[in-house]
Amino acid sequence: MDKKELLDYLETIDSELTDAYNTGHDDPINSDSLYYIDSAKDLMGELIHRIENDVEISDKEKHDFNEAMNGEFKA
């Protein structure tokens, strides 16, 4: 898979998340779902930006990501 194909998939996933968010109801039952969809869209946007612009992440950013996503903590 090349970079363009990957970006096409990510753009499609982002579009699907937008549709899911827009069809959700803003009531207490769905508020958590809308929050998670919004968070996923933010992550997707960041990933797309990094791929399009060949952004390298620093060791600190890698550490912060691992800590946030996997509970990995290094003092």
- How far is 16 from 60, CA to CA, in rounded Å? 31
Quick: pLDDT tens for 5-25: 999 999 999 999 999 888 887
Contact 21, 41 (CB under 8 A): yes
Mean pLDDT of 40-55: 90
Quick: pLDDT tens for 26-45: 777 778 888 889 889 998 99
Contact 13, 40 (CB under 8 A): no
Q: What is the pLDDT of residue 27?
A: 76
Q: What is the pLDDT of residue 14?
A: 92
- How far is 23 from 35, CA to CA, in rounded Å? 13
Contact 48, 11 (CB under 8 A): yes
Where are the domains positioned within the chain?
31-75
Q: What is the pLDDT of residue 21?
A: 86
